[in-house]
């Protein structure tokens, strides 16, 4: 569209162009596949949001906070009751007292934690190491800050059946560091692989970060969804790592309230202060009554056995989806953490339109022809590495048992061998 000139004789403006930092962005893969799933009434195992109610005790706490007139701005770095509750929860997990007033910033979901941390630590031209597959806001936030993403893929042997078979090649990771490297972004438990990084793997990453004097942003939003046989290790709790690590969490994942957009960044005072300097000019502060409700939820969670209940619920749902995928011949990568499963679609003979990526065509076909929506994982890769997941689709199991059973039925009818 050409914008008309405001006064006769004035020079006509150029056609409208948004700022360069957003010019290359399209709509997200989640928006596209959720719209398609709604259109064809597919069971949506694509986007990772729970379709069941949040726990009653957190809903009640939010209602009481609103009725109690906690409806005005609160402290920019985080509502006092929430930062104290977070300090009580996380201090034992980091093996140190996390100062509620200087070592925590409450953010608008982990997404703003990612954005604000990158704004705070990355200068134009700085390099940021991203592990593929990545959560798609990482490269967007890096490029909006003028940073340069450097990609290192997790590698999996052909026919991998377990998330722990996906690993980083240490030498490949070491080669990604340069004098311009400023930050490395890590995600454990990992979306979409479901990998929970081991202590040894995190130590190797930490050693490289220390050697090259690089900060680490550790996105741990699935920290409470870790299944037996795996345990969640925090890189920020490893020797020498606290001083250079920012750890992110999310109430959306922890309490099944993704629409509340409450997250937090935890780290040493110098990093947290820098994040606060960015955060104060992004949202200024985060919704007060919802912060109060998350505080109440954390205060009550342990006594209610909430975290054990959450993991048991998700483990049962994981097993249900893994069984359904196996029965449909879509060999799953069994996750140790998170609520995602990658499944092998390599044997499906799906037409791939010219110029389209195979996993995108397969996920569209699964959505429209099988009635079960999945996300093409190439959306979580840089263009040069997208071929690595042409044979995979990502399914989520943060859905009601009814939805998972209906998906299993549709997969069995369309794809099952029996
Ligand atoms: C790895 C990862 N990080 C961050 C987020 C976003 O968290 P929030 O909803 O708290 O912004 C997600 C959501 O899917 C995620 O998968």
Instruction: Express each pLDDT in 218-244 by its tens digit.
Output: 999 999 999 999 999 999 999 999 999
Distance 414 CA to ligand 1 centre (A): 32
State the DSSP code for 167.
Answer: B
Kindly report the CATH number assigned to the domain that includes residue 205: 3.40.640.10
* pLDDT digits 0-9 by tens, 324-355: 999 999 999 999 999 999 999 999 999 999 99
Average pLDDT over residues 45-74: 97
How far apart, in whole angstroms, are the C-alpha atoms of residue 327 and residue 219?
Answer: 33
Q: Whose CA is nearest to atom 16 of ligand 1?
A: 191
Give me the domain span that covers residue 324.
Answer: 20-47+307-415
Do 97 and 238 lie in a common domain? Answer: yes
Do 185 and 228 lie in a common domain? Answer: yes
Under 8 Å between Cβ of 307 and 55:
no
Provide the pLDDT for residue 417. Answer: 64
Answer whether residue 8 is part of any domain: no
Residue 26: burial class (beta carbons within 10 Å; 0-12, 13-18, 19+): exposed
Answer whether residue 97 is part of any domain: yes
- Residue 233 β-bridge partners: none
Of 280, 304, 328, which one is at a domain's C-terminal end? 304
Q: Whose CA is nearest to atom 7 of ligand 1?
A: 110
Provide the pLDDT for residue 219. Answer: 99
How far apart, in whole angstroms, are the C-alpha atoms of residue 220 and residue 64?
Answer: 29
Phi, psi of 3 (to 5 degrees): -80, 125
Do 25 and 160 lie in a common domain? Answer: no
Provide the pLDDT for residue 30. Answer: 86
Q: Is the pLDDT of residue 208 over 80?
A: yes
Provide the pLDDT for residue 12. Answer: 64
Average pLDDT, the chain: 95
Atom of ligand 1 nearest to the CA of 112: 11
Do 246 and 333 lie in a common domain? Answer: no
Distance 44 CA to ligand 1 centre (A): 18
Do 30 and 64 lie in a common domain? Answer: no
Q: Whose CA is nearest to atom 14 of ligand 1?
A: 48
* pLDDT digits 0-9 by tens, 352-383: 999 999 999 999 999 999 999 999 999 999 99
Distance 46 CA to ligand 1 centre (A): 14
Lining ligand 1 with CB less than 6 A are: 48, 109-111, 135, 187, 191, 219, 221, 250, 252, 258, 261, 263
How far apart, in whole angstroms, are the C-alpha atoms of residue 5 and residue 12?
Answer: 5
Q: Ligand 1 test: best mutation among 49, 110, 188, most atoms within 8 Å of CB?
A: 110
Answer whether residue 7 is part of any domain: no
Of 304, 319, 345, which one is at a domain's C-terminal end? 304
Coil, helix or strand for 219? strand
Q: Is the pLDDT of residue 1 over 50?
A: no
DSSP string, 114-180: HHHHHHHH--TT-EEEEEES--THHHHHHHHTT-EEEEEE-B--TT--BGGG-B--HHHHHHH--TT
How far apart, in whole angstroms, are the C-alpha atoms of residue 275 and residue 281?
Answer: 10
Do 231 and 338 lie in a common domain? Answer: no
Q: Ligand 1 test: best mutation among 46, 136, 140, 252, most atoms within 8 Å of CB?
A: 252
Answer whether residue 127 is part of any domain: yes
Atom of ligand 1 nearest to the CA of 114: 4
Distance 35 CA to ligand 1 centre (A): 20
Do 107 and 255 lie in a common domain? Answer: yes
Do 215 and 145 lie in a common domain? Answer: yes
* More confident of the two residues 5 and 152: 152
Q: Ligand 1 test: best mutation among 49, 108, 111, most atoms within 8 Å of CB?
A: 111
Atom of ligand 1 nearest to the CA of 258: 9
Under 8 Å between Cβ of 189 and 338:
yes
Provide the pLDDT for residue 26. Answer: 86
Provide the pLDDT for residue 338. Answer: 98
Answer whether residue 254 is part of any domain: yes
Atom of ligand 1 nearest to the CA of 108: 11
Do 213 and 154 lie in a common domain? Answer: yes
How far apart, in whole angstroms, are the C-alpha atoms of residue 215 and residue 182?
Answer: 6
Do 328 and 195 lie in a common domain? Answer: no
* pLDDT digits 0-9 by tens, 241-278: 999 999 999 999 999 999 999 999 999 999 999 999 99
Domains: count for the chain: 2
Do 140 and 207 lie in a common domain? Answer: yes
Provide the pLDDT for residue 2. Answer: 47
Provide the pLDDT for residue 135. Answer: 97
Provide the pLDDT for residue 396. Answer: 98
Answer whether residue 15 is part of any domain: no
Do 317 and 377 lie in a common domain? Answer: yes
Kindly report the CATH number assigned to the domain that includes residue 333: 3.90.1150.10
Of 266, 286, 304, which one is at a domain's C-terminal end? 304
DSSP string, 53-97: PPPHHHHHHHHHHHHTT--S---TT--HHHHHHHHHHHHHHHTSP
Phi, psi of 337 (to 5 degrees): -160, 175
DSSP string, 222-272: TTT-B-TT-----GGGSTTTGGGEEEEEEHHHHTT-GGG--EEEE--HHHH
* pLDDT digits 0-9 by tens, 148-203: 999 999 999 988 899 999 999 999 999 999 999 999 999 999 999 999 999 999 99
Distance 238 CA to ligand 1 centre (A): 23
* pLDDT digits 0-9 by tens, 394-418: 999 999 999 999 999 999 999 986 4
Under 8 Å between Cβ of 288 and 74:
yes
Question: In this structure, what token pair is assigned to residue 108?
Answer: 């608008």
Distance 416 CA to ligand 1 centre (A): 33
Distance 49 CA to ligand 1 centre (A): 10
Helix axes 401-415, 306-327, angle to 10 degrees: 10
* pTM across the whole model: 0.95
């Amino acid at each position: 569209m050409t914008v008309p000139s405001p006064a006769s004789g004035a020079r006509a403006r150029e056609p409208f162009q948004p700022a360069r930092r957003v010019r290359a962005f399209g709509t997200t893969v989640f928006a596209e596949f959720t719209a398609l799933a709604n259109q064809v009434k597919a069971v949506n195992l694509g986007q990772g949001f729970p379709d069941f109610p949040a726990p009653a005790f957190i809903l009640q706490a939010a209602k009481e906070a609103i009725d109690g007139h906690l409806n005005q701005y609160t402290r920019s770095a985080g509502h006092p009751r929430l930062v104290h509750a977070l300090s009580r929860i996380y201090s034992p997990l980091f093996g140190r007292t996390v100062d509620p007033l200087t070592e925590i910033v409450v953010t608008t979901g982990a997404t703003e934690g990612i954005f604000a941390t990158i704004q705070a630590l990355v200068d134009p031209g700085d390099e940021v190491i991203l592990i593929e597959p990545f959560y798609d806001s990482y490269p967007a936030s890096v490029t909006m800050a003028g940073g340069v993403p450097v990609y290192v893929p997790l590698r999996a042997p052909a026919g991998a059946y377990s998330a722990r078979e996906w690993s980083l090649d240490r030498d490949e990771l070491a080669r990604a560091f340069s004098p311009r490297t400023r930050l490395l972004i890590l995600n454990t438990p990992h979306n979409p692989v479901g990998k929970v990084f081991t202590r040894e793997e995190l130590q190797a990453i930490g050693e490289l970060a220390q050697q090259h004097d690089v900060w680490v942003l550790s996105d741990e939003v699935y920290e409470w969804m870790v299944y037996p046989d795996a345990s969640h290790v925090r890189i920020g709790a490893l020797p020498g790592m606290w001083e250079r690590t920012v750890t992110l969490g999310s109430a959306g994942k922890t309490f099944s309230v993704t629409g509340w957009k409450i997250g937090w960044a935890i780290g040493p005072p110098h990093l947290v202060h820098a994040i606060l300097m960015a955060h104060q000019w992004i949202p200024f502060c985060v919704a007060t009554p919802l912060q109060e409700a998350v505080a109440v939820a954390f205060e009550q969670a342990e006594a209610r056995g909430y975290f054990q209940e959450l993991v048991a619920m998700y483990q049962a749902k994981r097993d249900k989806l893994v069984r359904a995928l196996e029965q449909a011949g879509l060999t799953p990568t069994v996750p140790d953490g998170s609520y995602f499963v990658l499944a092998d679609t390599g044997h499906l003979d799906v037409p791939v339109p010219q110029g389209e990526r195979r996993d995108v065509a397969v996920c569209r076909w699964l959505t429209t022809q099988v009635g079960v929506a999945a996300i093409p994982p190439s959306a979580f890769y840089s263009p040069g590495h997208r071929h690595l997941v042409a044979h995979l689709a990502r399914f989520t199991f943060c859905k009601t048992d009814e939805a998972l059973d209906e998906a299993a039925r549709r997969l069995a009818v369309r794809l099952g061998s029996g």
